[in-house]
């Protein structure tokens, strides 16, 4: 039997996929009605977490943050059986995740953090990526139980905090891109260009290629010979901000990038590739 805590969009998808595989699934959610809604698909909803976990071979969680995970699990320390595997899919921070693993290991329980790069549709279909790190023996025991939930389980090594770290790194990139797109569309509107027209640029120009090109060079610490000098990149950025101001448009992300560029130019890196700003040398 499997217990699932957190039946929001992602958790509900996971639960329904488990039910499709013929698993017996107990569910709990802070809003009971969300758990109860899964009973029509074969799950059993509980109002109390302690009742939901009794007899569980596996416990899975997709909650909001570290505090929510501890808030649910800590009161259950004396209820969860020693043989039960706890798999947390919540996006959490590395430091408290490591502390959580140590705490449950000291209790003689198997706790793994297995965050995901998956949306609700992926969870429902068993596709997408799941990250896994921790002691080799623990990974070997848990991985076969996780594989039916996802398209691919990516192992990240023995440090149990690496799953949390890489999940935040991935989400960081997504959020930075989202912020950049917000400025992109704001600037387009200020120039009288519809967002849909501006977006059409990406059918011909793929800025994502920069991750494979400049991103690789930045990771390897290569900033010369330059393909786009930092000083020239800063000039282009100035033109963008100035033109937006002429149209009374406020850019939120670009000024922070300008400050980053200025710091590296002041440190003498203006003639190097713009990717030098990832070196940490300013």
Residues 225 and 257 in one domain: yes
Residues 175 and 225 in one domain: yes
Decide: 89 and 62 in contact? Cβ < 8 Å.
Answer: yes
Name the band, by pLDDT with cuts 50, 70 and 90, for residue 17.
very high
Q: What is the DSSP string of 98-155?
A: HHHHHHHHHTT-EEEE--EE--HHHHHHT-SEEEE-S-HHHHHHHHHHHGGGSSEEEE
Residues 207 and 182 in one domain: yes
Residues 148 and 223 in one domain: no
Residues 40 and 74 in one domain: yes
Residues 181 and 135 in one domain: no
In order of 69, 143, 191, the CA distances from 131 in angstroms are: 18, 10, 42
The last residue of one of the domains, among 115, 132, 158, is 158
The last residue of one of the domains, among 137, 158, 179, is 158
The last residue of one of the domains, among 158, 192, 221, is 158
In terms of phi and psi (left: phi > 0; alpha: psi -120 to 50; beta: otherwise), the region of 60 is: beta
How many independent structural domains does the chain possess?
2
Phi, psi of 60 (to 5 degrees): -120, 145
Mean of all residue pLDDT scores within the chain: 96
- Whether the full predicted model's pTM is greater than 0.85, yes or no, is yes
What is the DSSP code (8-state) at residue 222? -
Residues 200 and 122 in one domain: no
Instruction: Return the CATH number at 202.
Output: 1.10.1040.10
Q: List own/partner pairs for 128-131 with CB under 8 A and 24 or more apart.
A: 128/152, 129/154, 130/89, 130/154, 131/156, 131/162, 131/163, 131/166, 131/167
Q: What mean pLDDT is predicted for residues 238-255?
A: 97
Closest by alpha carbon to 17, among 116, 92, 110?
116
Q: What mean pLDDT is predicted for residues 130-141?
A: 96
Write out pLDDT tens, residues 67-78: 999 999 999 999
Task: Please check the confidence at residue 142 and state whether its pLDDT lies above 90.
Answer: yes
Write out pLDDT tens, residues 189-244: 999 999 999 999 999 999 988 899 999 999 999 999 999 999 999 999 999 999 99
Task: Please check the confidence at residue 104 and state whether its pLDDT lies above 90.
Answer: yes
The 10 Å Cβ neighbour count of residue 271 is 15
Name the band, by pLDDT with cuts 50, 70 and 90, for residue 96.
very high
Query: Where in the sequence is the domain holding 127, given as residue range(s)?
Result: 2-158
Residues 203 and 72 in one domain: no
Instruction: Return the CATH number at 88.
Output: 3.40.50.720
Name the band, by pLDDT with cuts 50, 70 and 90, for residue 282.
confident
In order of 9, 10, 129, 177, the CA distances from 123 in angstroms are: 9, 6, 10, 24
Residues 116 and 175 in one domain: no
How many residues would you count in the chain? 282
Residues 140 and 74 in one domain: yes
Residues 138 and 195 in one domain: no
Residues 187 and 132 in one domain: no
- Give the model's pLDDT for residue 55: 93
């Amino acid at each position: 039997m499997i217990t699932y805590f957190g039946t929001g969009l992602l958790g509900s998808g996971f639960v329904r996929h488990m039910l499709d595989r013929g698993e017996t699934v107990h569910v709990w959610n802070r809003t009971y009605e969300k758990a109860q809604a899964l009973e029509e698909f074969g799950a059993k909803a509980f109002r109390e977490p302690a009742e939901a976990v009794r007899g569980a071979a596996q416990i899975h969680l997709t909650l909001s943050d570290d505090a929510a995970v501890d808030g649910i699990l800590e009161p259950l320390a004396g209820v969860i059986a020693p043989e039960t595997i706890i798999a947390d899919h919540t996006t959490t921070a590395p430091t408290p995740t490591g502390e959580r693993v140590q705490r449950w290991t000291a209790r003689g329980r198997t706790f793994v953090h297995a965050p995901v790069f998956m949306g609700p549709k992926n969870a429902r279909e068993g596709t997408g990526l799941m990250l896994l790190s921790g002691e080799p023996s623990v990974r070997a025991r848990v991985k076969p139980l996780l594989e039916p939930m996802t398209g691919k389980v990516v192992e990240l090594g023995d440090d149990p905090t690496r799953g949390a770290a890489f999940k935040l790194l991935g989400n960081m990139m997504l959020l930075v891109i989202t912020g950049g797109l917000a400025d992109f569309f704001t600037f387009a509107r200020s120039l009288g260009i519809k967002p849909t027209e501006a977006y059409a640029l990406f059918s011909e120009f793929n800025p994502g290629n920069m991750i494979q090109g400049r991103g690789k060079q930045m990771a390897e610490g290569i900033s010369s010979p330059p393909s786009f000098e930092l000083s020239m990149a800063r000039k282009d950025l100035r033109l963008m901000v100035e033109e937006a101001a002429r149209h009374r448009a406020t850019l939120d992300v670009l000024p922070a990038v300008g400050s980053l560029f200025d710091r590296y130019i002041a440190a003498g890196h203006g003639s190097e590739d713009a990717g030098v700003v990832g070196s940490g040398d300013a």
